[in-house]
Amino acid sequence: MNLRPDPTFHATPKLAMEAPAETLAFTLMLSPDGSQPDGLAVVDVDPKSKTYGEIVHQVIMPNKGDEFHHFGWNACSSSLSPLSGHAFLERRYLIIPGIRSSRIYVIDVKEPLEAKIHKIIEPEEVFAKTGYSRPHTIHCGPEGIYVSTLGGGGVDGTDGPPGIFIMDCETFEILGRYEMDRGQQEKHYDFWWNLPRDYMVSSEWGLPPQFENGIVAEDLLSNKYGHKIHFWKLRERKNVQTIDLGANHQMALEIRPAHDPSKDYGFCGVVVDTTNLQGAIFTWWQKDDGTFEAKKTITIDPRPEDPANLPPLLQGFGAVPPLVTDIDLSLDDKYLYVACWGLGEMHQYDVSDPMNPKLAGKVELGGIARNAPHPNGKPFAYGPQMVEISRDGKRVYWTNSLYSTWDDQFYPGTSGGQMVMAHVGENGGLELAEDFYVEFPEGYRSHQIRLEGGDCSTDSFCYPSA
Partner 1 sequence: MDSMTSATALWGAVVVSGLYHGVNPGMGWPLAVSAALMDRSRRSLWRALGALALGHLLAMAAILFPFGALLFLADWQRAIQIGAACLVIALGLYLLVNRRHPRFLSRVPPSRLALWSFLAAMAHGAGLMLVPIYLGICQTVDTDAGHAAASTLMTDNVSVAALVALAHTGAMTLAGGVFAFVVYRWVGLKALSRSWFNLDVVWAVSLVLVGGLSLATV
Burial 438-452, CB ≥16 within 10 A → b, else e: bbbeeebbbbbbbbb
The residues that bridge with 43 in the sheet, in sequence order, are: 25, 55
Helix (H, G, I), strand (E, B) or coil at 86: coil
Q: Using CA atoms, how far apart are residues 453 and 19, in angstroms rounded to an integer?
A: 9
Phi, psi of 433 (to 5 degrees): -80, 120
Q: Least Å distance between CB 197 and partner 1?
A: 8
Q: Least Å distance between CB 291 and partner 1?
A: 17
Phi, psi of 306 (to 5 degrees): -60, 120
Q: Which is nearer to partner 1, 52 or 88 (CB)?
A: 88
Phi, psi of 112 (to 5 degrees): -55, -35
Q: Which residues bind partner 1 (CB under 8 A)?
A: 1-5, 7, 9-12, 15, 80-88, 142-144, 170, 195-198, 233, 235-236, 261-262, 462-464, 466
Q: Using CA atoms, how far apart are residues 29 and 425, in angstroms rounded to an integer?
A: 30
Q: Least Å distance between CB 146 and partner 1?
A: 12
Looking at 152-234, which runs of residues are DSSP E strands? 164-167, 174-177, 191-194, 199-202, 228-233
Q: Which is nearer to partner 1, 164 or 462 (CB)?
A: 462
Q: Which is nearer to partner 1, 196 or 375 (CB)?
A: 196
DSSP per-residue letters across 416-447: --EEEEEEEPTTS-EEEEEEEEEEPPTT-EEE
Please list, in sequence order, all residues whose beta carbon lies within 8 angstroms of the beta carbon of residue 39, skipping any fewer than 6 positions away: 28, 29, 58, 59, 60, 61, 68, 444
Q: Which is nearer to partner 1, 155 or 466 (CB)?
A: 466
Q: Least Å distance between CB 111 and partner 1?
A: 22
Rounded to a whole number, what is the distance in angstroms from the first to the last CA of the chain?
30
Contact 396, 361 (CB under 8 A): no
Q: Least Å distance between CB 84 and partner 1?
A: 5
Q: Which is nearer to partner 1, 4 or 48 (CB)?
A: 4
Q: Which is nearer to partner 1, 224 or 233 (CB)?
A: 233
Tell me the Ramachandran region of residue 369: left when phi exceeds 0, alpha when psi lies from -120 to 50, beta otherwise: left
Q: Least Å distance between CB 332 and partner 1?
A: 16
Q: Which is nearer to partner 1, 13 or 321 (CB)?
A: 13
Q: Least Å distance between CB 160 and partner 1?
A: 24
Q: Least Å distance between CB 463 and partner 1?
A: 5
Q: Least Å distance between CB 429 and partner 1?
A: 31
The closest alpha carbon to 396, from 367, 444, 363, 370, belongs to: 363
Q: Least Å distance between CB 405 and partner 1?
A: 39
C-alpha torsion sign, points 113, 114, 119, 120: positive
Q: Least Å distance between CB 9 and partner 1?
A: 6
Q: Which is nearer to partner 1, 8 or 404 (CB)?
A: 8
Q: Which is nearer to partner 1, 192 or 382 (CB)?
A: 192
219, containing H or E segment:
helix 217-221
Q: Using CA atoms, how far apart are residues 55 and 49, in angstroms rounded to an integer?
A: 12
Q: Which is nearer to partner 1, 49 or 171 (CB)?
A: 171
Phi, psi of 217 (to 5 degrees): -60, -40
The residues that bridge with 345 in the sheet, in sequence order, are: 340, 364
Q: Which is nearer to partner 1, 3 or 308 (CB)?
A: 3
